[in-house]
Amino acid sequence: MVKSVCTGCSLLCEDIDLTLKAGGVGEANNLCRKGFGHFSALFNERTIPRVDNQDASLDQAISEAAKILRNAKNPLLYGWSSSSQEAQKVGIDLARKLGAVIDDTTSFCQDVLMDLVLKGKVPTCTLDDVRNFADIMIFWGSDPTNSHPRHLSRFSYYPRGEKRQKGYEVERDSIAVDVRKSSTAKLCKYYFKVAPGDDADFINSVISVLDGKIPRVGDKKKMIELGTVLRKAEFGVIFPGLGLVSALQDQMSLLEALLAKLNSIKPYKVIPTAEHFNARGFNQLLMSETGFINRVSFKDGVSSNPDLGIVGASRSCDAALIIGSDPLSELPFGVARRLAKMPLIAIDPRRSLTTDASRVVIPSAMYGLESGGSAIRTDGVKVSFSSPYPAEKPNDEEILKRIMEAI
């Protein structure tokens, strides 16, 4: 058994013991079903170097990729959330050298929330603080039981911590706010159902309850009970998910207002639940280099605007390098169709719809298993990992460096 770090989601579980056998994962301890699937899938859909739908050598694929990027007038570099910090650093240098647009998977996901957290507009803390001190957790539009299976057991609800020795029944309260009774909501003590898009009204109701007024929407008795629970907390944490971010969109100031109101009573923090294992890492790195978390163009200096996101860039760019992501199956059909029509370069350990539609496919090593590096957990803690089973394939960092040299 060797120690490994799971790169299946942004929790980066460090206590994984596993062995490999021919054609799959042999034994794995402490790996959740999602992580087990993540590692097992590596053995049945592996990519091979391809150019124009024909098998090629790695060198040919890299020189073809360099040619596409060199000839493009306005290239797009997209993905990045499933690459190590080191690879992301090289990626940003590559974008700077090419004068390219660089964007990551959060631009169609939770970037507005990540922006608030990284710029310090809402208070945040680490998941270890949650385990040690938090007594109220609010899962708002998120369902970590499905998206981050070990979230509740490793950090937020069930474990015992420094100030929370007696277990969840006595010392922790959990609240779920969601459009449906999700798997997480079934485990929570309080569940509040909101209609899709009504989160703004719900926030206003919570603020008025905390002000001592009668709420306009929702079950009044239940809302007043919620106000009481929120008031008596010692340390509260909100885990907003894609549900809340999609419902609020341009009204994220409401979330800031709610946090300001809550913090005037008791300390409340926000921790985003990023999807891919190093999504926050890319946002943080790009922010330290350019001041923007994503949607950055290096053409004529550094600029950022909403049209540089994947949706707008799919219209304005003429070639794309997709790394560790599958936009063709994840994004809306219109965006996927526009992307599929341009020359694509895919760097991915596994086969996907995007690699199938790409002109150049470059296989890479999988982080956590075949390649080491470092990544930023969803709460901002840096996690370094080694490669328990080093592969012959180069990792994202080496591939990008070779492309850069070829350009």
Partner 1 sequence: MVSAMEIYQLLPKTNCKKCGVATCMAFAVGLLRKEKKLEDCPVIFEPKYEAKLKKLREMLAPLESASETGLVIHDEKCFGCGNCVVACPVNVANDPTGCALGHGPTSDKVILKVENGVVNCLNPKECRRFGPNKILCNACTVTCPSKAIEFV
Q: Which is nearer to partner 1, 9 or 262 (CB)?
A: 9
Query: Residue 220's CB: how many other CB atoms inside 10 A?
Result: 13
Q: Is 25 in the site for partner 1 (CB under 8 A)?
A: yes
Rounded distance between C-alpha atoms, residue 80 and residue 177, angstroms: 30
> Can you tell me which of 10, 184, 273, 355 binds partner 1, judged by CB under 8 A?
184
Residue 303, classified by CB atoms within 10 Å of its CB into exposed (0-12), middle (13-18) or buried (19+), is: middle
Rounded distance between C-alpha atoms, residue 51 and residue 57, angstroms: 9
Q: What's the DSSP call for residue 250? A: G
Q: Is 172 in the site for partner 1 (CB under 8 A)?
A: no
Rounded distance between C-alpha atoms, residue 77 and residue 345, angstroms: 9
Q: Minimum CB separation from partner 1 for residue 350, in Å? A: 18
Q: Is 126 in the site for partner 1 (CB under 8 A)?
A: no
Rounded distance between C-alpha atoms, residue 191 and residue 195, angstroms: 13
The site that binds partner 1 (CB under 8 A) totals a number of residues, namely: 35
Q: Minimum CB separation from partner 1 for residue 5, in Å? A: 13
Q: Minimum CB separation from partner 1 for residue 368, in Å? A: 16
Query: Residue 328's CB: how many other CB atoms inside 10 A?
Result: 22
What does the per-residue mask of binding to partner 1 show for 84-123, with x meaning CB under 8 A? ----------------------------------------
Q: Is 189 in the site for partner 1 (CB under 8 A)?
A: no
**Cα-flanking dihedrals φ and ψ of residue 402, to 5°?**
-70, -35
What does the per-residue mask of binding to partner 1 show for 127-156, with x meaning CB under 8 A? ----x-------------xx--xx-xxxx-
Q: What's the DSSP call for residue 365? A: P
Specify whether the CB–CB gap between 333 and 339 falls below 8 A. no
Q: Is 338 in the site for partner 1 (CB under 8 A)?
A: no
> Can you tell me which of 1, 2, 37, 52 binds partner 1, judged by CB under 8 A?
37
Specify whether the CB–CB gap between 290 and 303 falls below 8 A. no
Specify whether the CB–CB gap between 181 and 191 falls below 8 A. yes
Specify whether the CB–CB gap between 296 and 101 falls below 8 A. yes
> Can you tell me which of 43, 108, 133, 158 binds partner 1, judged by CB under 8 A?
158
Specify whether the CB–CB gap between 308 and 142 falls below 8 A. no
Q: Is 44 in the site for partner 1 (CB under 8 A)?
A: no
**What are 329's two structure tokens?**
């199956």
Q: Minimum CB separation from partner 1 for residue 114, in Å? A: 25
> Can you tell me which of 10, 20, 35, 65 binds partner 1, judged by CB under 8 A?
35
> Can you tell me which of 9, 12, 20, 31 binds partner 1, judged by CB under 8 A?
31
Q: Minimum CB separation from partner 1 for residue 144, in Å? A: 9
Partners of 46 in beta bridges: 350
Q: Which of 96, 110, 99, 176 is nearest to 144 (CA)?
A: 176
| Gap between the terminal Cα atoms of the chain | 42
Coil/strand/helix, residue 54: strand
What does the per-residue mask of binding to partner 1 show for 223-262, with x meaning CB under 8 A? ----------------------------------------
Q: Is 290 in the site for partner 1 (CB under 8 A)?
A: no
> Can you tell me which of 44, 52, 55, 167 binds partner 1, judged by CB under 8 A?
167
Q: Minimum CB separation from partner 1 for residue 246, in Å? A: 23
Q: Residue numbers of the site for partner 1 (CB under 8 A)? A: 15-17, 25, 27-37, 131, 145-146, 149-150, 152-155, 157-161, 167-168, 183-184, 186-187
